[in-house]
Amino acid sequence: MIIRKKENWFKMLFVWHGSVLPRVLPRLILLFVLSLVVVFFHGKILSFKVPLNPTPLTLFGFVLALFLGFRNNVSYDRFWEARKLWGGLLNFARSLTRQALTLPNNSADKAQSINFVMLLTAFTYALKHQLRGTDPRADLKRRLSETHFNFIEPAKFKPVMIMKLMAQWVTDRRNANNIDAIQQMRFDENLDKLAEIVGGCERIISTPIPYSYRVLLHRTVYLYCFLLPFGLVDSLHWLTPFIVAFIAYTFVAFEAIADEIEQPFGTEDNDLALNSMCQMIETTLLEMAGEKISDVEVKKSGIID
């Protein structure tokens, strides 16, 4: 995800990286060339004059804009829900770390608490990789002991298996009388919250917007854009290609943005910055544990977006 400071209004007109213009530019060029052909033949197809005028296209464009607005709202709701889930992950990770670090009374228990913190940081990276469908082994091997890594590596749902290890850690502390039943319950409540976050993220990524709805809107947008030159050629003449390209940019770009943020866990410019979020969670947990990760180590490990 690209996060920029607020820029001058004039510079915003020429922003390229992070906009959807590179993605839709070939389609706009196609529509521009089509409009040139329509103007050259005066809106005729094999000597048949297409009887279109701007009035019905204006009404249809208004309705299409409403549907595109609804489509973008649905996609943004998915994006924002995903962001809230990862914000909740940060909060619950901090709570679990605080609980683990305030329990030990000796150096051995302190080391066990550090192990819990590392499990928690590994959990965030495992969740990121599961959502993106990427290989988590390098990140997990760097943060887990060899025993834990060998246990997690063959699992299909690695975040869930790491939660199992954290739950086992809590059980061991209870059996060792380091925590009482109430404290164990508080741990379990926060672990349940982590499970809800995993389930929420899986729900978003496994339940896309209905395909038939996407196809209908996609076809309607491009049918409108292809008919637009025939409705404007008589009134705009050689200005038609430029006006068509401008109008098409609005509609096509809206559709492209909706497609991009519909699945917010990817690696496109407008998806969630999961790398940076994992880095922030890891840094704050290690700082709470009295250990810090340097910027050089972060960059070398490829954590920064």
| % residues pLDDT > 90 (the chain) | 55
> 286, 293 in Cβ contact below 8 A?
yes
pLDDT category at 185 given cuts 50, 70, 90 is very high
User: First vs last Cα of the chain: how many Å apart?
Assistant: 7
> Across all residues in the chain, what is the average pLDDT?
87
- The helix/strand/coil state of 290 is coil
- The tens digit of pLDDT for each residue in 92-126 reads 999 999 999 887 665 556 788 889 999 999 999 99
Encoding tokens for residue 103? Answer: 């329990």
Q: Tell me which residue has tokens 């709570």.
A: 95
- The tens digit of pLDDT for each residue in 215-230 reads 988 999 999 999 999 9
- The tens digit of pLDDT for each residue in 9-57 reads 667 777 777 788 888 999 999 999 999 999 998 888 877 787 888 888 8
Of 30-39, 72-81, 150-159, 296-305, the one with minimum mean pLDDT is 296-305
- The tens digit of pLDDT for each residue in 259-271 reads 888 999 988 888 8
Containing H/E element for 44?
Answer: strand 44-45
pLDDT category at 292 given cuts 50, 70, 90 is low
pTM, two decimals, is 0.85
Task: List, in order, residues 6 or more apart from 244 with CB less than 8 Å away.
Answer: 31, 32, 35, 225, 228, 229, 232
- The tens digit of pLDDT for each residue in 7-21 reads 676 677 777 777 888
pLDDT at 301: 41
pLDDT at 297: 47
pLDDT at 107: 56
Q: Tell me which residue has tokens 């998806």.
A: 271
Bridge partners, residue 44, by sequence: 49
